[in-house]
Chains A and B, each alone.
Chain A
C-alpha cells in the first residue's frame, strides 16, 4: 500500500490540531494553581466529564487497534470491546465513589489516605508511571501509523509530531485543556463512527469490493500439472518456478518474471498455486513490499468474501444490521495467514490466503485459540482467560482514568459521569464490530499494518470521510496521551516530589514541576513509540491493562474492603504485581516475536497475558503481608 497525502486531509488535520492548541491556550490561565493544573479545579460538570472519560478511554487501541484486529481476526478483536467496556462495571460499582472521597490529585492519595506512608507514595507513583508508559507506547504507535496515509510523511515523524503537540497541550493548561480536548474528540469519534457504520451497511457486501481505491485486486490461481516430491510443475509453462520454500507447516514457491519476483502458496488440496503478498527485509536494512519499494505500490490492499448469498460473484446491496451479520455468517471469507521465514540473509514475511466459513469469523478462535478440536492447548485457553481477566480488572486500575474522578465536585457526580461514560463507550464498542467487519470485506486491509484498517475503510468511501476520521483518530491519540501525561506528571510532582521527598514548593513551583515532568515523559514516550513500530496497538494496551490490574487494583480493592490492610501489604502488593506482570510480558512469545524479532525462538513463558498469574499473586501478597505486619501499625507512619 502506497500512502499519499490529500490536501483536504491535511487541511482538516491542521484545523483540528489548531483548534486543540487554541483550547490549551484559552484555558492556560486556569492552570496557574496546582488544583487548576492537576484536576481542572474539581468543578467539571459530570456530563462533560463523562464524555471526556470516553475521550480519554477510547484511545488508539479502541479505534485503530480493535477495528484492525476485527478486520484481521474477526470476533477475537471484538473480545477487546467486550472486556474494555465490562471493566467499567468495576470502576462504577466498586471504585468510583470511594476513590473520589479518599483522593485529592492522584490515586496514590486514595491508597495512602489511611497511612501517610512514604512507601505507598513512592510505589503508587512508580506504578502510575509504568502503567502510563505501557499505555503511552501504543498511542504513539497509533499516531505514527496514522500520519503515513494522512500526511504522507514517515512513521517516526508522526510519533514526534504527536509527542510535541501533546507536550504543548499539557504543559500549557494541564487537566483543564485535556478535559475539553477529550470531550471534543470523544463526541466527534462517536458521531463519525455512526456515519461510517451507516455507509458500510448502505454499501452492503460484494465478492468484488471495488471502492474509491478503484477496482479490487483480481487474485490469480495457477493450475498445477503435477507434484513430484518437492517439485511442482505448472500447466502454464510460461511461469518458471525458481525456488521452493517448504517446511511441515507451509509450502511456497518463488516465480521470477524477468527481475520481478512473486511468491505463491502451493495448495495441494485444490491443486493450484495461490497468490501471496510478501515483505522482504534485506540485510542492508531496505524493505521490499511484494518485491518492490513501498513507493511502487505493489503491496495492494486486501479483504473480501469469496462467497456471498451462495454465489462466488455476489453483491448484497444495502443491508440492515442483522442482515449484514447474516451475510457474513452464511458466506465464505478470505483471511490472511502470516508466516515469518529466515531466507538466507533476509527475513521474509509471507501472507497467504485462508478461505473459511463466515460463521468461523463470528466466533472466538482465530487469534486466541480456545477450541481443542482446532489445536488449542490448556495454556492457550489459560491465555484467553488471562486476557479477559486483565481487560475486566484493568480499567479500574488505570491511573489516567482514576484521576478523572477528581475533576468533578462530588461522589455522586463521579458516579453519574461514569454512567455517561459507559453509555458512550458501550455504544462506540458495538460500532467497532461493524467497522472491523466492514474493513474485512471491503478490501481495505493493509497486511503490513493492522492498525490502519479503520482509516483505510473510511478512505474507501471517499477522501472527505477519511480526512475527518483520520483527524479525529489523531485527536484521539492527543486526548488519551494528554491524560496519560497529566497522570504521570501528577505522580512525579505531587506523589514523589511533594509527598515522598517532602520538597516544599509554592503553587507555581508545583505546576512547573508538573510541566517539566510532562515534557520528560513525552520525550520518553516518543522514543518508545519509534521502537515499538508495527505492533497492534490493542494488543499493547492489553498489556497496560494487565499491569494495572496486577499492580493497582488489588491494593485499591483491599484498602476499600478489608480493614486489616496495612501499608506494607499495599507496598508489597504493588511491587509484586508490577514485577510479576512485567516479567511475564517481557518474556512472552509475543514480545519475543514482535519486539525482539527472534525468529523460531520459543519463549520461556507459557502465556502471553500475565493477569491470570500476577493478579492472584498480588492479592495473596497483600493478604499475607498485611497479616504479618498487623502489630506494626503504629510504626508504619515511619516507613
Chain B
C-alpha cells in the first residue's frame, strides 16, 4: 500500500508563509501560557487579585481560552488571504 497524501490537492505556494506565521503565533501564545504557569508557581497569591469582577486566575484562564479562539481566527484570515493571492498568481501564470 502506498503511503502518500490522503487526498490530492494543488500546492499553491502558500505553505512556507503559513508555516512561518503559525510558528510566530505559536511562540506568542506559548509566552502568554508560560506567564500563567509562572504566576501560579512563583506568586500564586497574585491569582486571587480581583480583575473585572472575577479574580486573576479566572480572568487569565478564560482569557487563554478566548485568546486561542481569536488567534485561530486571525491565523485563518491571513492564511486564506495568502491562499487566494497565490491561487490568483498561479492562474495568471497559467495564462
Note whether A and B form a binding pair. Answer: yes
Task: Using CB atoms and an 8 Å cutoff, list the residues of chain A in contact with chain B.
Answer: 34, 39, 42-43, 75, 78-79, 81-82, 85-86, 88-90, 92-94, 97-98, 100-105, 109, 112-113, 322, 325-326, 329, 359, 362-365, 370-371, 373, 381, 384-385, 388-389, 392, 405-406, 409-412, 415-416, 418-419, 422-423, 426, 429-430, 433, 494, 498-499, 505, 510, 560-561
Residue pair A363, B37 in contact (C-beta under 8 Å):
no
The reply to whether A93 and B79 form a contact with Cβ atoms under 8 Å apart is: no
A430 to B64, CA, bound (A): 11
Knowing A325-B53, A362-B58, A415-B76 are in contact, say whether A409-B5 is a contact too (CB < 8 A): no
Binding site for A on B (CB under 8 A): 1-7, 9, 15, 18-19, 22-23, 25-26, 29-30, 33, 36-37, 40-41, 44-45, 47-48, 53-55, 57-58, 61-62, 64-66, 68-69, 71-73, 75-76, 79-80, 83
Using A325-B53, A419-B76 as known contacts, say yes or no to A371 and B58 having CB atoms under 8 A apart: no
Contacts of A426 in B (CB 8 A): 65-66, 68-69
Known A34-B1, A93-B26, A103-B6: A412·B65 in contact at CB below 8 Å: no
| 12 pairs of residues in contact across A and B, judged by CB atoms under 8 Å | A75-B57, A88-B68, A89-B26, A101-B5, A104-B2, A325-B58, A364-B44, A373-B45, A388-B36, A406-B6, A412-B80, A415-B75
Kindly state the separation between the CA atoms of A359 and B44 in the bound complex, as whole angstroms: 13
A593 to B67, CA, bound (A): 38
Q: Within 8 Å CB of A381, what residues of B?
A: 41
Point out the residues of chain B lying under 8 angstroms from A388, CB to CB. 33, 36-37
Knowing A89-B29, A92-B22, A412-B79, the reply to whether A499 touches B68 (Cβ < 8 A) is no
Known: A93-B25, A109-B3. A412 touches B83 (CB 8 A): yes
Cα distance, A100 to B58, chains bound together (Å): 35
B71/A89 in contact, CB under 8 A: yes
Query: A82-B36, A370-B41, A370-B44 provided; 11 other pairs, C-beta below 8 A?
Result: A75-B57, A81-B65, A86-B33, A88-B68, A102-B5, A104-B2, A104-B3, A363-B44, A392-B30, A415-B75, A426-B68
Q: Are B5 and A104 within 8 A (Cβ)?
A: yes
Distance of A233 Cα from B81 Cα, bound (Å): 78
| Most chain B CB atoms below 10 A, which of A42, A385, A415 | A415
In the complex, what residues of B have CB within 8 A of residue A406's CB?
Answer: 6
B23 cross-chain contacts in A, Cβ below 8 A: 93-94, 561
Find A94's partner among B4, B22, B33 (CB 8 Å cutoff): B22
Contact A85 B65 (CB under 8 A): yes
* Contacts between the two chains (Cβ within 8 Å), count: 155
Also in contact, A430 and B7, with CB within 8 A (given A93-B23, A93-B25): no
Distance between Cα atoms of A201 and B41 in the complex (Å) = 32
**What distance in Å separates the Cβ of B19 from its nearest Cβ neighbour in chain A?**
7
Given that A93-B26, A363-B44, A412-B79 are contacting pairs, would A105 and B55 also be in contact in the complex, using a CB cutoff of 8 Å?
no
When distances are taken between beta carbons in the complex, the residues of chain B under 8 Å from A79 are 61
Instruction: Report whether B68 and A410 are in contact in the complex, using a CB–CB cutoff of 8 Å.
Output: no
Would B54 and A415 count as touching, CB distance under 8 A?
no
Partner of B6, one of A39, A322, A329: A39
Q: Please, which residues of chain A bring their CB within 8 A of the CB of B44?
A: 363-365, 370-371
Q: Give every chain A residue within 8 A of B71 (Cβ-Cβ).
A: 89
Whether B55 contacts A329 by the Cβ 8 Å rule is: yes
Cβ 8 A contact of B64, one of A85, A365, A411, A412? A85
User: Which residues of A are found within 8 Å of B29, using beta-carbon distances?
Assistant: 86, 89, 93
Partner of A112, one of B3, B6, B9: B3
A98 pairs with B19, CB closer than 8 A: yes
> A93 touching B47 by the CB < 8 A rule?
no
Chain B hits for A412, CB < 8 A: 79-80, 83
Complex Cα distance A430/B69, Å?
Answer: 13
- Chain A residue nearest in CB terms to B62: A430
The one of A82, A325, A422 that contacts B69, using a Cβ cutoff of 8 Å:
A422
Determine whether the beta carbon of B9 is less than 8 Å from that of A410.
Answer: yes
Contacts of A39 in B (CB 8 A): 6
